Each structure stands twice: as structure tokens, then as C-alpha cells.
Structure 1
Amino acid sequence: MRLDFNVLWVDDQPDRIAAQSKSIGLKMAAEGFNFSPRYCQTIDQVEAVISEDVFTDEVDLILVDWDLGNDTHGEDAIERIRQIVQYKDVVFYSGQATVIELRQKAYERKLEGVYCAGRDGLIDEVIGVFESLIKKVLDLDHTRGIVMGATSDIDHMVQVCLTLAHDKLDDPGKAEFLTEAMKRVTEKVKQLAKRGEKLQAAPSIEGLFKAHMLFTSDDRLRMLANVLSMDSFTAHAASVDAVKAYREGVVTGRNTLGHAVLVPQGKPNSVLDEAGKPVDIEEMRELRKLILILRAEFRSLLSGMQT
């Protein structure tokens, strides 16, 4: 699972489900996930979407309305979906047919993995299925993968932003840009040289593990904050706050997860970090929520710098 909770939503009148979609999105955001629906109004559109291998692999849940117009019904769409997407949960809903009637229609078509709901109960049903799904993956090991994947995406955006910033500068600006970067590299070389001398004098496995790379993701973040403070990028200066918030609020948590010792401490959803401090699911929820907010900020910055 990723931070984006991908949903295939089949309804011939997407405007009438806008309120439910917003409510579902808010409830998922409170858990640190981004509700990402993809709407289809016809079975033809559904068939086009489910033929895309990438989307089929990444879809987390499928919502299908019963009345799809033109004498087409949801069980027809689900039957077609099940031919390709066999193991994803489906929420089958209607504002006309009762839940009992929907269950009967699913039973007659031998459709498995289908939850049924009235339109009024759609939000609760979707959130119930969502919570059931995330409980299966929100042990610390899976959470680590979710966070690492999201922060890797942000690290890539930072690198692209730095490349774009460099290309927008004049020659003196580019020279200053690279000089500043090389200062960091030179300082790292000195630090590594000192560590190397210490390691040679007193070899140890701990010292070996402390010999890190020269220009780390934190170096790139610091560099980006400096670049955005330059006169040439005043239009993007407000993004400095997002960069700083990411460094201070996310990077530490990411590193904690990256080095966490996955040994149960009293209960299965709590582990110890490398300093022996318990890390629990509640902390990880807050970390996911912060990453969602800052990821949007970095996407906005990248989009602005690309224009």
C-alpha cells in the first residue's frame, strides 16, 4: 500500500457523489492517506481503465453504483471487472435498490468480495472497508515501506527542483550554485577523512557504518532552501518553510523508521528505534499526515519551477 489510496469509482452521475467523495477523502486524510478516486461513467470506460496494467496493480478498492443508466446495472460492471481484477474488494451501492436486493444480485451473478450499501450508508461502508484494509498493513514494517516510498518521491522532486533552479540561472549564478554545493562536498570529504583516520587507528564496525555518502538528501534539502532564498527565485521563496518543515518534521522520523529494530515491545504494533525508544502506530499516523501536506507543497513548487 502507498500513501495514495486508489479507488475505481463507477457512477454515471459523478456530480451527485461529490459530497460523499469529499467526506471519504477527509476521513482518509485523518488517517494519513490520500483518497485518489478515478471515475468512470460507463462500462466502456471501466474496460479501458482495467486494461491498464499499472492502474489495475495499484487500485485498492472499487465502488460501483447499481443504476448506471441506459438499462445498464452495476452487477454488469462488477462482472466485467471481476474478469480482470479478481481480488479487489468492491462496494456495491444504490439509492434505489435495497441492500438485500443488491446482495441478491451479487449472489445471482456469483460475485465474491462484494460489500453492499445504500447511498446513505456509502461513506460508512467505504471507510469500514478502508480501515479493514489498512489494519492489515499498518504494522511498523509496512509503515516503513509506505513512508520510505513517499519520501523517495519527495527526494526526487527536490533533485529535479535543484536541476531546474541551476538551469534558470545565468553563468555567474550557476558558478555560485556549484561553488556552494562543492563547499558541502569538500566539508564532507574532510569529515570522512577524519573518520577514516579514526577508523584506521581504531577499527570498529560502528565506525564503519558512520561513513556516509558525500552529498546526502539532507544536503540537497539545505541547498534547495538556500537556492529558494536567492533573488532569482523570490516567486518561490514561501516554499522555504516547506523545505524546513520536511527536514525537521519528516527526515528524522524517516530515519527512525529506516533504522528501527522490528522487535515487539509489549504489543505487536510497537517497536524500538535504535536508541531504544518505543515507536508506535499513532506517531506514524501523524508522520503520514505531515508527509501528505508537504508532498503537496513540493509538487506545487516543482510545478511552479517548471513553468
Structure 2
Amino acid sequence: MRLDFNVLWVDDQPASVVHQIKSIALQMANEGFEFKPRQCTTLAQMEEVISEDVFTDEVDLILVDWDLGNNEHGEDAIERIRQIVQYKDVVFYSGQAAVVELRQKAYEKQLEGVYCAGRADLVDEVIGVFESLIKKVLDLDHTRGIVMGATSDIDHMVNTCLTLAHNKLNDTGKAKFIEEAMRRVMEQVENIARQGEKLKAAPSVEALFNTHMLFTSDHRLRMLASILGMDEFEAHATGIATVKAYREGVVRERNTLGHVVMVPQGKPNSVIDDAGKVVDMVQMRELRKLILNLRADFRALLDSMQT
């Protein structure tokens, strides 16, 4: 599972579910996930989507309206979906047919894994299925994977922002950029050399594992914040606060999750970091929410730098 909760939504009247989309998105955001519906208004559009190679891996839930117009119906759409995707949950809904009718239609088509709901109850049904899905997988081990995946995306955006910044500088500015990057690298080289001397004086496996790479993600974050403070990038200066919030609120927790060893007994609900602080599932939810918001801020920064 990812921070993005991807949904295929088949409804011939997408304007009629705008309110539901907003409500679902808000409730999922409160759990630290981004609701990302991909809407199709016809069976032909749906056919194109489900034929994509990445569809099975990327979609988390499927929503299908009963009356799709032009004498097309949801049970036929679900039957076609099931030929390609056998195990993804489906919410089958209608503002006209009763829930018992929808269940009968699904039964007649021998469609399994289908939840039925009236349009008025659609939000509650979707959130119920969502909560059931995340409760099945959302222990700290899966949370670690979610956090690592999302922060890797942010690392990539930081790299792209640095590349864009470098390309917008004049030759003198580009030279200073590289000089600053190399200064940070050489500081790290010296730091590694000092670590090497300490290891030589008191070698141990634990000390060996505490050595680090040269130009770390934190180096890049600090360099990006420094660049955004330059006059040339005054229009993007608000990004400094984003970088600061990410460094202070996410990086340490990410590193804790990245290096901690999970105990393979049941679903671990808490770990203890290197400072003796307990990190539990409630804190992980807050971390997901923070990453979700900061990821949006980094995307906005990247978009603004690309214009």
C-alpha cells in the first residue's frame, strides 16, 4: 500500500459524485492517505483503463454505478473487470435500484468481492471498505514501506529542484553551486575519515554500521534551502519552510523506521528509537499526514520551478 489510495470510479454522471469525492478525500486524509479517483463515464473508457499493464498493481478499490446510461449497467462492467482483476474489492452502488436488487444482480453474474450500497450511503460504504483494507496491512512494517516510498518520491523531487536551480543560474552561479556541493561532500569525506580513525581505535560491528554515505539526502535538503534563499529564487522562497518542516518533522522518523528491526511476532504496534522514544501507530498516522501535506508542498515547489 502507498500514501495514494487509487480508485477506479465508473459513473456516467461524474458531476453527481463531486460531494462524495470531497467527503471521502477528507476522511482518508485524516488517516494520512490521499484519495485519487480515476473516473470513467463509459464502458469503453473503463475497458481502456483496465487494459493498462499497471492497472492491477496500482488500483486499490473499484466503484461502479448501476445505471451507466445508453442501456449499459454496472453488473456488466464488474463482470468485465473481474476477467482481468479477480481480487480487488468493488463497491456497487445506485441511486435508483435498492441494495437488495444490486446484490441479486451481482449474484446472478456470480460476482464475488462486491459490496452493495445506495448512493446516499456510498461514502460510508467506501470508508468502511477502506478501513477494512488498511487494518489488514497497516502494522508498523507496512507503515515503514509506505513512509519509505513516499520519502523516496520527495527525495526525487528535491533532486529535480536542485537540477532546475542549477540550470537557471549563470556560469558563475553554476560554479558556486558545484563548489558548495563539493564543500558538503568533502566535509562528509572528512567526517568519514574521522569515523574511520575512531573505528581503527575501537573497532566494533555497531560502529561500522553507523558510517554513512557522502552526499546524503539531508545535505541536499540543506543545500536546496540555501539556494531558495538566494535572490535569484526569491519567487520560490516559501519552499524554505517546506524543507525545514520536512527535515525537522520527517527525516529523523524516517531514519528510525529505516533502521529499526521489527520483531516477527504478530503485528508490531510500536518500536523504540535510538533515543528511547516509543513510536506507535498513532504517531505513524500523524507522520503519514505530515508527509502527505509536505509532498503536496514539494510538488507545488517543483511545479513553480519548472515554469
Q: Which residue of 1 aligns with 2:12?
A: 12
Q: Which residue of 1 aligns with 2:42?
A: 42
Alpha-carbon distance in 2 for matches of 1:115, 1:156 = 38
Greater Cα offset, 131-140 or 182-191: 182-191
Q: Secondary structure at the match of 1:45?
A: helix
* Two-structure CA RMSD over aligned residues (Å): 1.4
Cα drift, residue 267 of structure 1? 7.8
Q: Which residue of 1 aligns with 2:244?
A: 244
CA contact (8 A) 2:262 2:268 kept: no
Equivalent runs, 1:139-158 vs 2, <5 Å = 139-158=139-158
Q: Secondary structure at the match of 2:84?
A: coil
Partner amino acid for 1:8? L
Alpha-carbon distance in 2 for matches of 1:272, 1:266 = 17
Deviations 1:278-301 (A, max 9, x none): 221100000000001010111111
Q: Identical aligned pairs, as a percentage?
A: 76
Alpha-carbon distance in 1 for matches of 2:265, 2:108 = 48
Alpha-carbon distance in 2 for matches of 1:179, 1:136 = 49
Deviations 1:156-187 (A, max 9, x none): 11011101101110011011111111111121
Q: Which residue of 1 aligns with 2:179?
A: 179
Equivalent runs, 1:80-229 vs 2, <5 Å = 80-229=80-229
TM score, norm. by length of structure 1: 0.97
Partner amino acid for 1:180? E
CA contact (8 A) 1:259 1:273 kept: no
Partner amino acid for 2:125? E
Q: Secondary structure at the match of 2:237?
A: helix
Alpha-carbon distance in 2 for matches of 1:290, 1:84 = 35
Alpha-carbon distance in 2 for matches of 1:278, 1:293 = 24
Query: For the structure 1 residues 42 and 265, does the alpha-carbon distance in structure 2 shift closer, same or farther, using more than 3 Å as the test?
Result: closer
CA contact (8 A) 1:158 1:224 kept: yes
Alpha-carbon distance in 2 for matches of 1:247, 1:274 = 18
CA contact (8 A) 2:256 2:273 kept: yes
Q: Which residue of 1 aligns with 2:60?
A: 60
User: Where in structure 2 are there 5+ consecutive unaligned residues?
Assistant: none
Alpha-carbon distance in 2 for matches of 1:220, 1:55 = 34
Deviations 1:67-116 (A, max 9, x none): 00111110010011111011100000000000001000000000000000
Deviations 1:98-156 (A, max 9, x none): 00010000000000000000011000000000000001111000000000000000001
Alpha-carbon distance in 2 for matches of 1:276, 1:298 = 31
Partner amino acid for 2:251? V
Deviations 1:208-245 (A, max 9, x none): 11221111000000000000001110110011100000
Greater Cα offset, 146-155 or 276-285: 276-285
Alpha-carbon distance in 2 for matches of 1:208, 1:280 = 28
Alpha-carbon distance in 2 for matches of 1:268, 1:247 = 26
CA contact (8 A) 1:199 1:207 kept: yes
Q: Secondary structure at the match of 2:189?
A: helix
Partner amino acid for 1:301? L
Alpha-carbon distance in 2 for matches of 1:179, 1:146 = 35
The count of corresponding residues between Structure 1 and Structure 2 is 307
User: Where in structure 1 are there 5+ consecutive unaligned residues?
Assistant: none
Alpha-carbon distance in 2 for matches of 1:202, 1:261 = 25
Alpha-carbon distance in 2 for matches of 1:71, 1:185 = 65
CA contact (8 A) 2:141 2:268 kept: no
Query: For the structure 1 residues 94 and 277, does the alpha-carbon distance in structure 2 shift closer, same or farther, using more than 3 Å as the test?
Result: same
Cα drift, residue 265 of structure 1? 9.9
Q: Secondary structure at the match of 1:223?
A: helix
Cα drift, residue 270 of structure 1? 2.1
Q: Which residue of 1 aligns with 2:303?
A: 303
Q: Which residue of 2 aligns with 1:263?
A: 263
